[in-house]
A and B are shown apart, each in its own frame.
Chain A
Amino acid sequence: MPDDWGMPAEPIEWDITIPTDDASIARRRRALAPIQVLTDIERTKTSLDGDYWTRYDLFNIALAVIDQVALAMSISAGRTWEETVEYAAEQAARQVPDADRSQWQAVAERVVVSLVTTDVETVPYLVHAASGPQWLAQRFRLLYVHARGEDGSEYLRASEQAINIFVEALDLDIEAAQIANEAQLSALIARGAVESAVQIARHARYRSIQYQERIRRIVADTLIDPDAHDWLGDVPVLLDGALAHVRERLDAEAVLLDAVAERRCELADRRRLDAANMLIELLRECRHRHDELHAHLITARTRLREALDDRFTRAPHSAHRVDLAADLLGPYLTRTTPECAALADRLLAAVGGLSARWLPPLSVLTGELCAPARAPEPGEEYIAPLFGDQDEQEWWEPYEDTTDAIFEGISEPVRLSLLVARADQIAREVCDADGEPLDAGLLAASLVHAAHRAWAARLAGRSAGDQVVVAAATGDHFDTGLLRSADLLLVPGTVTADIAEPAAGRSDATHPADWDDEEEAPAA
């Protein structure tokens, strides 16, 4: 994660012409990139499935979502995924009230997913180095999922870059801006301009959130890799500076609160009174944030020390790691098919977990399947059921297809025993999906079943001209050793007149063979 907030190291020059390799240009180029993402969300919407996208302004929804997430942030929490999507769907509903819920949901998901997946790709940009133009890659995120909370709960949080969009400042020292804000605030309050003070306080709130996010990120980076920051020099200075900052802000906010409360007593105007109340509310929230930040900073030292202790006992980079793209994915794609097939098993063994599918007894499984749905406990993670939608053939489909083909090929009356006798030969000639010949016994069984269905052929709902096969009992029996069945005579026929469906609800007393009922699909 590149740090946007480093102090400018280059000397400031008062030159009128700003060359493109000026550091502030490069910094602004980087700071503007998040806005490009928002523009892209809006610009590419026409290429999405569905014709409703032009009715929504995705840019607005995205801004509202970032705002909502940023305001809900504290050191450890944010807004959950579901809450955020729900909020975005509400905003979509405000834009197009006459659409349906699934459409709002699709719009909401599109916006949230677009904001969360920004760091999958890098954004290339050009800088001018001493050696000439040079391409660099920037990776940033707007919203990100944060797995904090001791129970592993996940929250969406807004990044510094995202909050920056709201602060309207693209090249900014947050602490200096904060002090300037407070000076402005006290001046405005002293003059009684409470409404303007509310605006400034709103602004100051974003700065507080931004500061909080920056500190959190630095502490988190240090916990991952203590060498990421200079422990002897920079980190203590930074923490001291941050603590001093928070203490000053807390004092300043207390003074401001008193000042506003004092002015409020003198206000008679209803509107300004409301504004003053709102200002107090905002200042209280800022103070709460600073309290939290203060507590976080105080414990940060202990946590950093623990991380360092941990590092001494077990080195985190004890094993060499290869690069996923350059060392694994790239070379993998150049291997031949059998090599890859063997490697694929190896890969799945590593990331597939355990294949321990301990199957419950059938009685337990049946009981669980028939039990009413269990209401999830509060806070329990909801896992949507996964359904496998597979296009693969089931094993019996080749048998049914073959049987259907045989029946379609019947052009003159034929005995079932004759068809069964030919099953051996047909089974040898037909292959299933794997190229294996069919099993003759199974094919014979399939033929017998189909013939008995034809015995009770369903004629209702057929129209004139349909080809059907009907079966009639001959009174004979046959026994192949594997099969023992009544020998049916299969007769091809043509429906000569439309046959209406029987009226619904009629009890079917005239059904030819009621033992065969369940074999018949309602609209065969």
Chain B
Amino acid sequence: MSPSSEAIDIGRVLAWAARPRESPARHDEYHRVVTRYRSEPDFAAAVDAVFAGAGLSLTVDERDGIIPVASPDSPLRVTVSDVMRRAQPHHRAAIGAVVLAVARTAYPEASMLDDPDRVAVFTTQSVVDTLDRAAQAHADSASQDGALDEEQVEAWRHWLAVGEARANAQRRSPSDRPGLVNRVCRFLAEAGYLTARGDTDGGTWLARPRFRHAVAALCEDSDLYALTNGLGELTSGDGSDPEAGFAPRRAGSRHGG
């Protein structure tokens, strides 16, 4: 293959990476670039380098397609503001907790992240229950009330402060727990990771196979682990300096499928 055909194919990888609802099985072109990525290490390295420049790392799976994972400072990443406009800090904290709870509810066991056949089905209510239980565990072991300073209040107190579902509410608002979960799930559905399946228990969601690749990337992010557990310095998360170099967090992995 000539170098120019390589450049063209890198562009195609980018184009398909931005189409999360498509799968290689439905498009010959998509299938071809995925196969090329998986079988030609030089091509894969070139693709990874281009994407690393945009702050993206790729997981390429024969069946699930190309799953891009953005680094925290990539200009192409999505932010909390994309989920909820003008979110206040305590909203942001709750949204992060919901993202983790959705991942946890879809994959309650670590081994499920390796199961290419797993298509998790979960309800909004089960995500709320997961978070309620996790927050309640902290509440039970907490010996005193939260700090007066809004900045010092822990996230679990925020979650417990979010209103419970209103009975027979005709529409959900993000000011109650199921509404907030649905807001995040709808967003993930737009991103191609979930599919909505009816309204039972506040909403039924189906996690498409590609979601497990993204969640696996989350679990492999050692910086995230360090920050979450208070082992590292928190940098500004608002990406105020998008020109800073985005180091790819992990090499493009080509396993799976």
Contacts and interface: CB of A to CB of B under 8 A. Distances in A.
A346 B151 contact: no
Interface string A334-365: 11111111111111111111111010000000
A120 interface: yes
Contacts of A150: 25, 63
Given A346-B227, A389-B171, A329 B122 contact: no
Contact of A327 (B191, B196, B228): B228
Interface in B41-86: 56, 63-64, 68-72, 74, 76-80, 82-86
B168 A49 contact: yes
Contacts of A327: 225, 228-229
Contacts of B221: 350
B216 interface: yes
B222 to A, nearest CB: 7
A229 to B, nearest CB: 14
Given A146-B117, A316-B255, A341-B92, A333 B134 contact: yes
B168 A113 contact: no
Contacts of B158: 337, 340
Interface stretch (A7-15, A318-326, A461-469): A318-326
Contact of B228 (A220, A314, A343, A390): A343
A348 B215 CA distance: 11
B254 A314 contact: yes
Contacts of B256: 316
Interface string B115-139: 1111111110010001100110110
Nearest to A356: B18
Contacts of B140: none
A321 B228 contact: no
Contacts of B26: 151-152
A331 interface: yes
A356 B76 contact: yes
B80 A345 contact: yes
Contact of A347 (B63, B175, B218): B218
Interface residues of A, number: 81
Contact of A349 (B70, B151, B199): B70
A440 B193 CA distance: 44
B110 A323 contact: yes
A267 interface: no
Interface in B88-129: 89-90, 92-93, 95-97, 99-101, 103-105, 107-111, 113-123, 126
Q: How large is the interface on B (under 10, 10 to 19, 20 to 34, 35 or more residues)?
A: 35 or more
B74 A349 contact: yes
A109 interface: yes
A81 B197 contact: yes
Contacts, number: 310
B93 A355 contact: no
B247 interface: no
A95 B152 CA distance: 56
Contacts of B80: 341, 344-345, 348
B20 to A, nearest CB: 6
B63 A152 contact: yes
Interface string A96-112: 00000000001001100
Nearest to B91: A341
Interface in A369-390: 381, 383-384, 386, 388-390
B114 A316 contact: yes
Contacts of B186: 386, 388
Interface in A84-127: 85, 106, 109-110, 113, 116-117, 119-122
The 8 closest A-B pairs by CB, nearest first: A344-B96, A342-B237, A340-B93, A352-B78, A353-B191, A341-B92, A349-B77, A145-B119
14 contacts: A150-B25, A310-B255, A321-B113, A322-B219, A329-B97, A329-B100, A332-B228, A334-B156, A340-B92, A343-B96, A345-B77, A350-B69, A353-B193, A433-B86
Interface of B: 17-18, 20-21, 23, 25-26, 56, 63-64, 68-72, 74, 76-80, 82-86, 89-90, 92-93, 95-97, 99-101, 103-105, 107-111, 113-123, 126, 130-131, 134-135, 137-138, 150-156, 158-159, 167-168, 171-175, 186-193, 195-201, 204, 206, 208-209, 211, 214-222, 224-225, 227-230, 234-239, 250, 253-256
Interface of A: 49, 81, 85, 106, 109-110, 113, 116-117, 119-122, 139, 144-148, 150-152, 154, 220, 223-225, 310, 314-316, 318-325, 327-356, 358, 381, 383-384, 386, 388-392, 433-434
